[in-house]
């Protein structure tokens, strides 16, 4: 139901007047519509934690205070089976204690897909997510809990959607008072989704 809740958000919420964001939200809605219902669970993935996972409960509790709570509520139902990882490139040393992500839908996710990738990113308070990019992929973040800045351009509260075009280098700085929980979505060609990776600058 987490993916259903996420699909609903991208279907009905405002794009803030941005035509590019509106097109992306519509594309996500259509791609998730094709994937639902889904029954191809990747049984080869085993649950695993990273140090940052100690902040997951606090981030989820904070997320229940906002309109995104119906997404967070569904996420909480299966956090015990998530496979947390760092990424596909060399991870900066200072991120190992403060960052983790888990792919839920996608080529490496709990549910297999080659058309779209969906997951969550968790950052500790005051964490710095180094400059990185996703070649050939369009990415959006939906803020489920916490306050963050991307490229020092704005402060994004819960319920915000941030769009990153293919190859756009971006960094995230997190507020020092609470952890950050983001849903991320990657769209692109089947080849790009299948070979999806993070490249740190």
Tens-digit pLDDT profile for residues 82-110: 999 987 668 888 899 999 999 999 998 99
The three state secondary structure string of the chain is CHHHHHHHHHHHCCCCCCHHHHHHHHHHHHHHHHHCCCCCECCCCCCECCHHHHHHHHHHHHHCCCCCHHHHHHHHCCHHHCECECCCCCCCHHHCCCEEEEEEECCCCCECCCCEEEEEEEECCCCEEEEEECCCCEEEEEEEECCEEECCCCEECCCCEEEECCCCCEEEEECCCCCEEEEEEEECCHHHHHCCCCEEC
Domains of the chain: 41-200 (2.60.120.10)
Q: Is 168's pLDDT higher than 80? A: yes
pLDDT score, position 199 = 61
**pTM, whole model, 2 decimals?**
0.94
């Amino acid at each position: 139901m987490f993916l259903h809740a996420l699909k609903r958000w991208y279907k009905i919420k405002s794009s803030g007047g941005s035509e590019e964001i509106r097109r992306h939200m519509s594309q996500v809605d259509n791609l998730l519509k094709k994937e639902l219902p889904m029954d191809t669970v990747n049984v080869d993935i085993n649950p695993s934690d990273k140090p940052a996972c100690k902040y997951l409960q606090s981030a989820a509790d904070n997320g229940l205070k906002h309109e995104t709570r119906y997404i967070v509520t569904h996420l909480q139902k299966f956090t015990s089976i998530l496979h947390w990882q760092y990424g596909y490139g060399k991870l900066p040393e200072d991120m190992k204690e403060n960052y983790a992500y888990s792919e839920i839908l996608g080529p490496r996710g709990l549910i297999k897909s080659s058309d779209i990738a969906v997951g969550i990113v968790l950052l500790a308070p005051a964490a710095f997510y180094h400059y990185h990019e996703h070649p050939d992929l369009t990415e959006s973040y939906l803020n489920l809990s916490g306050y963050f800045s991307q490229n020092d351009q704005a402060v994004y509260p819960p319920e915000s959607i941030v769009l990153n075009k293919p190859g756009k280098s971006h960094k995230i700085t997190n507020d020092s008072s609470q952890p950050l929980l983001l849903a991320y979505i990657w769209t692109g060609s089947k080849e790009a989704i299948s070979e999806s990776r993070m490249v740190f600058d």
